[in-house]
């Protein structure tokens, strides 16, 4: 079956520019208004453009939309077949057609009584088998009944993995640090030998458990780091310790066996889970070890709640749908190149990095589902840092720079440590920033302020232009009751579905990542050159750099 036939089989394939709504949106984009005017003309705007769901309150009223724009965006979703696409995605159809796979991270958090078929088999019982294995294994490590080769309880966990086998577990364990137990959890990802050595420097071989996470078990970085860790362990404790101190999460059983990991220490995963969506699978073993299996399962439960919301809520009140359509509007019609994610909690400091992979690897595509170049802008750049730190860094550009940067502000009503004084300060900043970004400060206000502090004449005149804020900068506020495993699960799932919706509207394949291959291929050619097994021809710049590297290497 060729690609086009597969496309026709189960997934909508509509060039969005051919729809009525796209043409209308193009026209609407030519007549921009301002956020200030939108609010002035509609007293119930805040209420109309907000969604309350479970522990989430999403206010998207500070965005460049009005009823006509929003209706057209919703129509665009319908015209590009979002509802059929959603059914295909959640129903396990092979929507990752360039790799011939289903995309079923949602199955990993489905209720035990659900039925989700892949190739005619219900995958839910197997998912629960693995989940139970994660539960009993992590419980035994946490309570110390599972012992190291020298009979001691484990104190440290080292997760060895990269990309999807690293970013999710790191982000979640950091986000749930409040819920953590006594185990110290470390992450080795980069093939940079200094990374692995810095981690090994901090742990004791006698009480360290390595969790090697690699869906393929062929990834250069992970295999190198796992091998270095193994040698380090063997040097301290002997070969026989490997069986007790190494476990693996993978689909590649022969490679794991060859590495020396015992079959009972293998946590399987399936090819219908993409790496960057895999934290809900056994890839989340380090999370279960860090916060315990109950919290891990609450995380999955929260994600499932968001799945149900996404699956059954009308598009106009559907949080991931609305957020995705706003991104499409800014990216494809208003010329935004990036969007910022600013969590107002230090716990979520790795969320932007995690989302960078999820969003940019999924929707950083320029070829549509027919293999033709797209004629519109797709996946944007995602970046961010926690507030308030980021206010003292890049917010200058957001307030007074030349770029259009729609931003998500994520805040929590309740702090975890109950420090109300700090939390009020934090949240005062949270609310003030979106207000300032929208309203800005006009010339009259600047003058008045300067006069109040006694400034007059030429000095005042010279300063005025620099102190004006045009405002009109769009933001979406996500106010969540409390950072818990459940709300975190829902938040991450919300972004996963947002990615999906954008991909459907843009008519691109969100679940492959061919763009990461070329660099890998060339790295292996250069490595062969370093090892003297191959001589390749490079461009002049690369030749020059390689010559310098060899000369300077010490």
Report the candidate in 149, 108, 300, 288 with the shortest Cα–Cα distance to residue 213. 288
**Which residues, including other chains, have CB under 8 Å from residue 544's CB and lie 6 or more apart?**
none
Q: Pairing between strand 121-122 and 184-188?
A: unpaired
How far apart CA 173 and CA 366 sit, in angstroms, is: 34
Is 445 one of the binding residues for ligand G6Q (CB under 6 A)? no
Q: Could you give the string, one character per residue 363-402, with x where binding to ligand G6Q holds by CB under 6 A and - elsewhere? A: ----------------------------------------
Is 102 one of the binding residues for ligand G6Q (CB under 6 A)? no
Report the candidate in 267, 216, 270 with the shortest Cα–Cα distance to residue 102. 270
Is 214 one of the binding residues for ligand G6Q (CB under 6 A)? yes
Q: Where are the alpha helices (DSSP H) in 329-391?
A: 351-355, 362-363
Per the CB < 8 A criterion, the answer to whether 480 and 351 are in contact is: no
377 is catalytic: no
In the complex, the smallest distance separating the C-beta of residue 499 from ligand G6Q, rounded to whole angstroms, is: 11
- For ligand G6Q, the closer of residues 16 and 163 by Cβ is 163
520 is catalytic: yes
Give the footprint of ligand G6Q on residues 259-318 (CB under 6 A): 274-276
In the complex, the smallest distance separating the C-beta of residue 357 from ligand G6Q, rounded to whole angstroms, is: 6
Per the CB < 8 A criterion, the answer to whether 351 and 171 are in contact is: yes
Is 219 one of the binding residues for ligand G6Q (CB under 6 A)? yes
- List the catalytic residue out of 361, 385, 496, 502: 361
449 is catalytic: no
- List the catalytic residue out of 257, 462, 520, 550: 520
In the complex, the smallest distance separating the C-beta of residue 510 from ligand G6Q, rounded to whole angstroms, is: 10
Q: Which stretch binds ligand G6Q (CB under 6 A): 53-61, 150-158, 208-216, 452-460?
A: 208-216
- For ligand G6Q, the closer of residues 230 and 276 by Cβ is 276
How far apart CA 476 and CA 19 sit, in angstroms, is: 27
Is 169 one of the binding residues for ligand G6Q (CB under 6 A)? no
**Three-class SS of 58-105:** EECCCCCCCHHHHHHHHHHHHHCCHHHHHHHHHCCCCCECCCCECCCH
Is 503 one of the binding residues for ligand G6Q (CB under 6 A)? no
Per the CB < 8 A criterion, the answer to whether 186 and 158 are in contact is: yes
Hey, is 366 helix, strand or coil?
coil
In the complex, the smallest distance separating the C-beta of residue 514 from ligand G6Q, rounded to whole angstroms, is: 11
Could you tell me the two tokens for 388? Answer: 């308030």
How far apart CA 181 and CA 299 sit, in angstroms, is: 16
- Token pair 């970046």 is at which residue? 383
- Token pair 């966990």 is at which residue? 157
In the complex, the smallest distance separating the C-beta of residue 217 from ligand G6Q, rounded to whole angstroms, is: 7
Q: Could you give the string, one character per residue 330-369, with x where binding to ligand G6Q holds by CB under 6 A and - elsewhere? A: -------------------------------x--------
Q: Which stretch binds ligand G6Q (CB under 6 A): 3-11, 66-74, 79-87, 215-223?
A: 215-223
- Token pair 């990802």 is at which residue? 189
How far apart CA 86 and CA 480 sit, in angstroms, is: 26
Binding site for ligand G6Q (CB under 6 A): 162-165, 214-216, 219, 222, 274-276, 361, 513
Give catalytic residue positions.
361, 392, 520
């Amino acid at each position: 079956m060729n690609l086009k036939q597969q496309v026709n089989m189960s997934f909508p394939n509509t060039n969005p520019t051919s729809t009525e709504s796209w043409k209308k949106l193009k026209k609407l984009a030519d007549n921009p208004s301002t956020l200030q005017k939108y609010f002035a003309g509609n007293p119930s705007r805040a209420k109309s453009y907000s969604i309350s769901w479970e522990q989430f309150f999403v206010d998207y009223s500070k965005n460049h939309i009005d009823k006509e724009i929003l209706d057209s965006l919703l129509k665009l979703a319908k015209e590009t077949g979002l509802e059929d696409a959603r059914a295909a995605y959640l129903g396990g159809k092979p929507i990752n057609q360039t790799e011939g796979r289903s995309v079923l991270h949602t199955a990993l958090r489905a209720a035990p009584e659900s039925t989700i078929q892949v190739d005619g088999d219900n995958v839910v019982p197997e998912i629960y088998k693995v989940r139970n294995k994660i539960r009993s294994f992590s419980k035994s490590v946490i309570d110390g009944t599972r012992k190291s080769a020298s009979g001691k309880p484990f104190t440290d966990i080292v997760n060895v993995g990269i990309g999807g086998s690293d970013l999710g577990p790191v982000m979640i364990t950091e986000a749930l640090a409040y819920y953590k137990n006594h185990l110290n959890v470390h992450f080795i990802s980069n093939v940079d030998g200094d990374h692995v050595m810095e981690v090994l420097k901090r742990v004791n071989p006698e009480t360290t458990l390595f969790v090697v996470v690699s869906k393929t078990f062929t990834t250069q970085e992970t295999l190198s780091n796992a091998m270095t860790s193994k040698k380090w362990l063997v040097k301290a404790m002997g070969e026989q310790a490997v069986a007790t101190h190494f476990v693996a999460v993978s689909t590649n059983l022969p490679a794991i066996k060859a590495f020396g990991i015992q079959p009972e220490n293998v946590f399987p995963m399936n090819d219908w889970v993409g790496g960057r969506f895999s934290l809900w699978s056994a890839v989340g073993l380090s999370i279960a070890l860090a916060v315990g299996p109950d919290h891990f399962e609450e995380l999955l439960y929260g994600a499932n709640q968001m799945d149900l919301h996404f699956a059954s809520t009308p598009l106009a009140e559907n949080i991931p749908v609305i957020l995705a359509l706003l991104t499409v509007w800014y990216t494809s019609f208003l010329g935004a190149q990036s969007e910022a994610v600013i969590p107002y909690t230090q716990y979520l400091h790795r969320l932007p990095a995690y989302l960078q992979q999820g969003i940019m690897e999924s929707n950083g595509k320029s070829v549509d589902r027919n293999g033709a170049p797209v004629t519109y802008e797709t996946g944007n750049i995602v970046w961010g840092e926690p507030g308030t730190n980021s206010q003292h860094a890049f917010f200058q550009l957001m307030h007074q720079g030349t770029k259009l940067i729609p931003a998500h502000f994520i805040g929590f009503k309740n702090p975890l440590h109950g420090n109300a004084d700090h939390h009020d300060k934090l949240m005062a900043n949270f609310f003030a920033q979106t207000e300032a970004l929208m309203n800005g400060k006009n010339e009259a206000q600047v003058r008045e302020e300067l006069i109040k502090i006694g400034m007059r004449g030429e000095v005042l005149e010279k300063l005025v232009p620099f102190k004006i804020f045009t405002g009109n900068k769009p933001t979406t506020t996500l106010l969540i009751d409390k950072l818990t495993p459940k709300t975190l699960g829902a938040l991450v799932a919300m972004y996963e579905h947002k990615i999906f919706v954008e991909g459907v509207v843009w008519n691109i394949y969100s679940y492959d990542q061919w763009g990461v291959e070329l660099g890998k291929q060339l790295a292996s050619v250069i490595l062969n050159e370093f090892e003297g097994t191959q001589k390749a021809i490079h461009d002049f710049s690369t030749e020059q750099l390689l010559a310098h590297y060899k000369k300077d290497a010490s």
